[in-house]
Amino acid sequence: MIRSFFLSPEQQQSRNLSLAEIGRVRNSGQGLLWVVLDRPDQEELLTVLRDTFQFHPLSIEDCGNEGYQTPKVDDYGEYIFLISHALLPQNQDLADLEMRELDLYLGRNYVVSIYRSAEMPPVERVWNRLEKDDRLFKNGADFLCHALLDALVDDYMPLIDSMDDEIEWLEDKVLEKPSPETLQRILALKHATLSLRRVIGPEREVVNRLSRDEFDLIAPNHRIYFRDIYDHLVRIQDLSESVRDIVSGTLDIYLSATSNRLNEVMKALTIVSTIFLPLSFIAGVYGMNFRYFPEINWQYGYLYVWLLFAVIVIAMLLFFKKRGWF
């Protein structure tokens, strides 16, 4: 699906322009044009990016690639091509954290955004703000690009907060009663931090380049907005590193706790086995099939053996307790 928004130099707004109108606006360099390609097929992708905007084939190939691509920014002179990643709302579950790619073209008077997922909340939020916040289209294409990246990065912080809540709960569960379910959640959280780290690092470098004077398409007075996004990413990366360290520590605590529990079980079994060892020996001696036993005809022989059993058990328990083995 192709959506578009256009603000003319006369401050007149129009939506869903035809491809011919989009091409004329692009060539005129006047006004502000935003084109959204929502889950485009190959024909729509080539028609808009290759035929209408005449973007470089390498960038078009990146847009059509469905595999994971590291966030990056490429300068093609007349426009900038960016790859970024956003969180999807249904994937806030840390056990199945998933990122979705958002591709952006930034030109003098236009922004083109492409995504292939069913939802892209940052784009939808900015699109819904067009009628409420006139800064989005009155400050130029670079400010609109900033708004999209800012909305994308804003979704990271709630994820970090949920990670903090999750790790606090896991620490309590590990100390209280470690279980295989707890281990699964710890490993899921560790996987989520690694996935987030894989994206945030390159994303931070992309925004850092945009916040400097490297690209003429970004106005000097707008670079401070990109620096604000960069500061947020630095903070998010620091928090994610902290969460990752805590998760690793929690995993060590879990392994230590389960090892201690196993040691306690083995200690109890060893004590029981050790107690029954002399009892088994005595029972084995009296179970031998010899004719002459001194106690075999004794009236209290059976009681004597049970009394001997009790004395040995009590003596061994006292010995173990004195040594601090239980």
Per-residue pLDDT tens over the stretch 200-226: 888 889 999 988 888 888 888 888 999
Question: What pLDDT is recorded for position 149?
Answer: 92
- Mean pLDDT over 285-308 rounds to 74
With cut-offs at 50, 70 and 90, classify the pLDDT of residue 246. confident
Question: What pLDDT is recorded for position 104?
Answer: 93
Quick one: how far is CA 186 from the chain centroid? 12
Q: Is the pLDDT of residue 38 over 70?
A: yes
With cut-offs at 50, 70 and 90, classify the pLDDT of residue 93. low
Would you say the C-alpha torsion 280, 281, 282, 286 has a positive or negative sign? positive
| Gyration radius from the chain CA atoms | 35
- Mean pLDDT over 180-206 rounds to 83
Q: CA separation (Å) from 186 to 172, 257, 260?
A: 12, 14, 19
Q: Is the pLDDT of residue 91 over 70?
A: no
Q: Is the pLDDT of residue 95 over 70?
A: no
Model pTM? Answer: 0.75
Question: What pLDDT is recorded for position 292?
Answer: 65
- Mean pLDDT over 96-123 rounds to 86
With cut-offs at 50, 70 and 90, classify the pLDDT of residue 290. low
With cut-offs at 50, 70 and 90, classify the pLDDT of residue 103. very high
- Range of lowest pLDDT (7-11, 63-67, 93-97, 311-315): 93-97
Question: What pLDDT is recorded for position 106?
Answer: 92
Place of tokens 């295989």: 180
- Mean pLDDT over 56-73 rounds to 86
Question: What pLDDT is recorded for position 89?
Answer: 59
pLDDT: is 291 or 93 the higher one? 291
- Mean pLDDT over 248-277 rounds to 80
- Mean pLDDT over 70-81 rounds to 90
Q: Which strands, in side-by-side order, build the sheet including 99-106?
A: 13-15, 2-7, 32-38, 110-115, 99-106, 80-87, 72-75
Question: What pLDDT is recorded for position 83?
Answer: 92
With cut-offs at 50, 70 and 90, classify the pLDDT of residue 4. confident
- Mean pLDDT over 183-197 rounds to 81
With cut-offs at 50, 70 and 90, classify the pLDDT of residue 44. confident
Of 302, 98, 62, 278, nearest in space to 191 by CA: 98
Angle (CA) 97 145 192, round 5°: 10
The mean of the pLDDT values for the chain is: 83
